[in-house]
Amino acid sequence: MPSALDFRIISIGTLSAHPLWDERQPVRTGHATTTLIESGDMTIIVDPGLPAPALKARLHERSGLTPERVTHVYLTSFHPEARRGIELFPHADWLISEREREAVGVPIAQSLARLAESQELAKQAGEDFHEDQLVTLEVLQRDIAILARTQASPDALSDDIDLFPLPGYSPGSCGLLLKRSIDTVLVCGDAIATSEHLEQGKVLPGCADRKQAMESFKEAIEIADLIIPGRDNLLVNPTNTR
C-alpha cells in the first residue's frame, strides 16, 4: 500500500556559478531544485525554478501530472531562481513563510516607488526612460504581482509536513520537513545548496546573515535523514547516525 506521503525530484537545480568548483562568474543559468510532494489531497510543487514551458514538460516526464493537478506551490525563499515558473500554476495556492514575505515586500515596493518617481521626472523633463530602467521596472512589477499573489504559509501544511525555519540565506528562508514512518526528509532550499556545501559544512556566499545561515545549516543536518538541497539532487545526510 503506497504511503500517504510521497515525494520526488522533478528537476535538479544548479548554481549559475558554483563557488566550490572555483567558479567566480556565471557560467550557466541558475535554477532551484524543484520537488513534488503529495500528501492526502495536496499536490505541492516546491521552488518552481525552471521557465514554465520547461517545467511543464519536466513535471509530466517525472510524474505524469499536468499543472492543473497541482494544488499548492511552496517557495523556500523569494529568490527569482526559485520561482521562475510559478505562473504555470495559476489555480494553486502560492505559499511562502510569513517572515520571508514581510522581509522582501518592503524593499521591492521601495525600489518600485523610486523607479516610478524617476520615470515621472524623466517624462516631465522630456527625456527618454532608459531601456535598462524599463526592464528593471517590468521585473519589479512582476515581483510585486507574484508577492501579492502569495499567502503566508501556516506552520504545517498537513499532519506530516511542517515548516522548518532556516533563516540566514535570506531573512525568512524556510524549508519543509517531511515526517515519514521510515525517515525524515528536509526540503531545505538554499540553506544547503549542493553536495559539496553539505560535505564541507559551508553556506552560500552572499547570505543575508552568514552566522544565522550557519546555525540553520547545523539545525538541518541535526534533524534530517535525507536532504533535498537547493541546487542538487537528493542527498543522504552523512552525519546522521540513527
Residues 118 and 125: their CA atoms lie apart, in Å, by: 11
- Identify the helix (H) or strand (E) that includes residue 182: none
Evaluate the CA torsion angle 21, 24, 30, 32 in order and state its sign: positive
Looking at the predicted structure, is the pLDDT value of residue 226 above 50? Answer: yes
**Confidence at residue 241, expressed as pLDDT on a 0 to 100 scale:** 54
155, 178 Cβ separation under 8 angstroms: no
Helical residues (DSSP H) of the chain, grouped into ranges: 52-63, 98-124, 131-149, 195-200, 210-223
pLDDT digits (tens, 9 = 90+) for 132-188: 777 777 888 899 999 999 999 999 999 999 999 999 999 999 999 999 988 999 999
Residues 157 and 58: their CA atoms lie apart, in Å, by: 24
Residues 66 and 45: their CA atoms lie apart, in Å, by: 12
Comparing CA positions, the residue from 109, 102, 54, 110 lying closest to residue 78 is 102
pTM equals: 0.91
Query: Mean pLDDT, to the nearest integer, of 15-25?
Result: 96
Query: Mean pLDDT, to the nearest integer, of 17-34?
Result: 96
For residue 131, what pLDDT band results from cuts at 50, 70 and 90? confident
Grid look-up 494544488 returns 71
Query: Mean pLDDT, to the nearest integer, of 12-19?
Result: 97
Rg (CA), the chain: 19
